[in-house]
Amino acid sequence: MFEKVLIANRGEIAHRIAQVLRAHGVRSVAVYSEADAQAPHVKAADEAICIGPPPVAQSYLNQAKILEVARQTGAQAIHPGYGLLSENAGFARAVAEAGLVFVGPTPEAIEGMGDKAQARATAQAAGVPVVPGSDGPVTDDAHAAALAEAMGYPVLVKAAAGGGGIGMQQVKKAAKLKRALQSCRDRGASSFGNDAVYLEKYIESPRHIEVQVLFDHHGHGVHLFERECTLQRRHQKVVEEAPSPFVERTPGLREGLTQAALAAARAIGYRNAGTVEFIVGPDGQFYFIEMNTRLQVEHPVTEAIFGVDLVREQIRVAAGEGMS
């Protein structure tokens, strides 16, 4: 087990990580912006270092400063929490190059699932059902129009690097497709630095189901059932429920979803905690949509039904220990 871990985050998740570390005899280092000097996560840690002014880009996203603090304090690992740098493959790689441990998956896994078109191809190659759509990004509007006609409207235009509903538009008519393509390209470029887009068939009245997975360094992987997050506003989850009543009453669905989630994760050599997301049609057919290569905000829902501490498991796995 580690002796000291730096927490590269703020707020609730940073406070939670500090508590878990203390409970298991591991010293914690908090980083904070000038605006967060009195924040709970700062007080919960054994050490706390200010890394910059209030703007996130100058503090919590300042990779060089975070790595400098890790070296100065003698931290052996960095836990990114969720959000901020948690799905930044460049940061995960920089942590490893600095001789530290990133509490999360490999940079290659983050990159592989971060690009939605690439993630779709990976899932498909692993035998996991995907929504009918383009095989890779579409760069030509005429080709996109032909694909949409072949699939049948409505379709979804999605930014390849998108997430959280950003850079995604439903298109019901051919006349609206060109504008949606350009809009999603622009949003992808401005929000993610990547203007690639792809097409998918829009599934009517879907359920949104996600599966929690956990893999260690010894090749062992488990799922912790599903969470249903169908109730959303503007593509943002409002309610998470586990286990899903819809899955409970649909014969064979849980087995299909959980095995597909494990297959998708294994296909990229995944390790640590992650969440594989699916949409499920009214007929019970499910389709892979993405994988979040981090601890998800909603993970306490799973902890509540399993009595497991996922943050503790993350740290154990990162330290090279087996899952408890």
| Residues taking part in catalysis | 294
Q: What are the φ and ψ backbone dihedral angles of 131, each rounded to 5 degrees?
A: -65, 135
Q: What percentage of the chain's residues is helix, strand, coil (to nearest 5)?
A: 40, 25, 35
Which has the closest alpha carbon to 302: 230, 211, 207? 211
Which has the closest alpha carbon to 275: 323, 324, 207, 229? 229
Q: SS3 for 251? A: coil
CA 229, CA 149: separation in Å to the nearest integer?
Answer: 30
DSSP assignments along 147-182, one per residue: HHHHH-SSEEEEEEEEETTEEEEEE-SGGGHHHHHH
Give the contacts of 313 (CB within 8 A, at least 6 positions apart). 214, 273, 323, 324
Which has the closest alpha carbon to 262: 127, 92, 117? 127
Helical H runs in the chain? 11-23, 40-44, 63-73, 89-97, 107-114, 116-125, 141-151, 177-192, 245-248, 253-267, 299-306, 310-318
